[in-house]
Amino acid sequence: MAFPIHRMRRLRQNEKIRSLVRETRLSVEQLIYPIFVTFGKGIKSEIKSMPGNYRFSTDLLMQEIEELLKLGINSIILFGIPQSKDAVGSEAYNPKGIIQETIREIKGRFPELIVITDVCIDEYTDHGHCGLIKDGEILNDETLDLLAKMALTHAEAGADIVAPSDMMDGRVGAIRERLDEFGFSNIPIMAYSAKYASAFYGPFREAADSAPKFGDRKTYQMDLANGNEALREVELDFEEGADILMVKPALSYLDIIYRVKEEFRLPVAAYNVSGEYSMVVAAARNDWIERERMVMEILLSIRRAGADMILTYHAKEAAIMLAKD
């Protein structure tokens, strides 16, 4: 009989011992903060469904970045709100577009900050889909050139990492090839490899004004029910040259994070998405949960599942808590 020789509580006696045997840790370097940027001046407008997150014009963004760096947050991912939208998302690959201009501004002031860019045309198309459209169909191969162009303009502006989130087949390869062709063979690709057609993106679509105007994203984003398919998606991105593999969303897909980490020897990112954030904030506002404890539990669980890094709207509050520990 194991008991009384074995007593699990021996190693739980006090915080020093618990800390000694702790298997998973979260540190601020592992956090990536998503930021929405818009043209204009003096803009810092709160996103209704994501309290505590804002759309920034570049001038006020600089103050925000200063604060992030002070907190030890070294990485951000940028999402752009363009001045105009059209059927082919031209602003997405305009060298003077919102993301391209923002990267230049950031890099001029804060060259040390890791700037990741989301590569997807849905924020830039008037129909809100991630691909070109013909007769109501979302085209795959025809979209690849646009994505490659978009990624190239980001790299030319100074992006450190590009992150395709469109879920078109073959986009990682197309982007890799284009970047290499233009001398950017050192720019890593963080692929949104296993991205599900999730209801958890709702608040983001308000923030980026990117909800599809017709239909849904189920012909390109993954079926919620599938796990093996996620591994196939990841394998294809790996073969096409992805450097970092992403699972998105995080919380309902911890099993996928775990499986990807077990199967592939690559860094794994998890996106703790907008809806996951908004649920916590809404419940905390009602005093139904303890926000700080819950945020740390969520982030730690994502790490325990196998994620090496986490994209999260909680990054700032987590950084403050981590600094206190």
Catalytic residues: 195, 248
Give the binding range for ligand PBG (CB under 6 A) out of 82-90, 106-114, 199-207, 254-262: 199-207
Q: Which helix (H) or strand (E) holds 216?
A: none
Tokens 């006696």 correspond to 13
Give the binding range for ligand PBG (CB under 6 A) out of 101-109, 142-150, 197-205, 284-292: 197-205
Binding track over 264-283 against ligand PBG, x by CB under 6 A: ---------xx---------
49 binds ligand PBG (CB under 6 A): no
Of the candidates 60, 76, 93, 118, which one interacts with ligand PBG according to CB under 6 A? Answer: 118
> Which residues within the stretch 201-260 sit at the binding site for ligand PBG (CB under 6 A)?
201, 204-205
C-alpha torsion sign, points 245, 250, 255, 261: positive
β-strands 54-56, 161-164: how paired? unpaired
The residue type at 143: T
We find the least distance from the C-beta atom of residue 221 to ligand PBG, in angstroms, to be 7
Backbone angles phi, psi at 222, to 5 degrees: -80, 150
Binding track over 141-170 against ligand PBG, x by CB under 6 A: ------------------------x-----
120 binds ligand PBG (CB under 6 A): yes
We find the least distance from the C-beta atom of residue 122 to ligand PBG, in angstroms, to be 5
CA distance 48 to 207: 8
The number of helix segments (H) and strand segments (E) in the chain equals 11, 12
100 binds ligand PBG (CB under 6 A): no
Count of residues of this chain found to bind ligand PBG when the rule CB under 6 A is applied: 10
For the record, the structure tokens of 237 come out as: 């991105």
CA distance 49 to 277: 10
Q: Is 123 helix (H, G, I), strand (E, B) or coil?
A: coil
For 166, what's the count of Cα atoms within 13 Å in the CB-facing half-sphere?
A: 36
122 binds ligand PBG (CB under 6 A): yes
Residues in contact with ligand PBG by the rule CB under 6 A? 118, 120, 122-123, 165, 201, 204-205, 273-274
